[in-house]
Amino acid sequence: MDASTIIEDSFHRSDFLSGITESQAAGILNRGNRIRLQSGETLFSQGEPAHKSFLVLNGRLKLIKLHEAGKEAILRYIGPGEMTAIISVLKEKEYPATAETIGDTEAVGWDKQTMVQLMLEYPPLAVNMLRCTINRLDELQNRYLEICTEQVEQRISRALLRIMKQSGRQAQDGIRIDFPLSRQELADYTGTTVYTVSRILSAWEKKGWIKSKREQIIVSDPHSLVLFSEHP
């Protein structure tokens, strides 16, 4: 994928660039530092000074939080057109998580000074950034409530639906999650064990709700999964 195609694709998919013309978006992206990483590489690490925020142009990031006991939790998946580390950079804090690439990934990063200048020049960016931040906070609050109040089966169904909405692609046999998602990663994302995830996915597969194989999940019957998530 060439640079012009990536810029155009990111422009159409990015809430961060909402209200910005395509020519303005190209200029905004060109004022950042373009970074290309292979699958499994680290864009930034938990605890490092947050010097840059990033917009994913192509590929995907997995945000991983490491606890003191050594256990990992997956906070979020960041797809094309999405921003990450905005607040940490503006507040000059450390990165709260590690960003690991899923597949070959390209991103563009801006330091605090450049971000502030861009927001002054293009006011819609500031509004979009605030909206994105509020949406992330709402999502984190909802996930916290799920962990505190819902049964594990319901948490997993909501997680699959959330990931499907963000990263689903229509396929012949359902909606395919378009990146490798292992059962261990789904367990880390929902705060449970890989054994529990495997048991639940196997039961749903027998019902025809999903199809799964190594690191690949297809939601065959989204309607049934939605009903279950609301009324387990």
Q: Is the pLDDT of residue 3 over 80?
A: no
Pairing of strands 98-111, 72-78: unpaired
pLDDT of 141: 85
- Number of domains present in the structure of the chain: 2
Which of 120, 146, 172 is at the close of a domain?
146
Digit-coded pLDDT (tens) for 166-190: 888 998 889 999 899 999 999 999 9
DSSP string over 89-130: HHTT-B-SSEEEEEEEEEEEEEEHHHHHHHHHH-HHHHHHHH
Summary count for the chain: helices (H), strands (E): 9, 10
pLDDT mean over 94-111: 96
pLDDT value at position 10?
Answer: 52
Of 118, 146, 174, the one marking the end of a domain is 146
Residue % of the chain over a pLDDT of 90: 70
Q: Are residues 169 and 139 in the same domain?
A: no
Per-residue pLDDT, 230 = 86
Query: Which of 119, 146, 173 is at the close of a domain?
Result: 146
- Are 139 and 184 within one domain? no
Q: What is the domain range of residue 102?
A: 3-146
> Mean pLDDT lowest for which of 51-60, 136-145, 156-165?
136-145
- Looking at the fold, whether 158 and 141 belong to one and the same domain comes out as no
CATH code of the domain in which 49 resides: 2.60.120.10
What value does the mean pLDDT of the chain take?
89
Q: Could you tell me if 187 and 173 lie in one domain? A: yes
pTM of the full structure: 0.84
Between CA 163 and CA 69 the distance in angstroms is: 27
Q: Does 20 lie in the same domain as 95?
A: yes
Task: Tell me the pLDDT band of 45, cut-offs 50, 70 and 90.
Answer: very high
Same domain, 41 and 124: yes
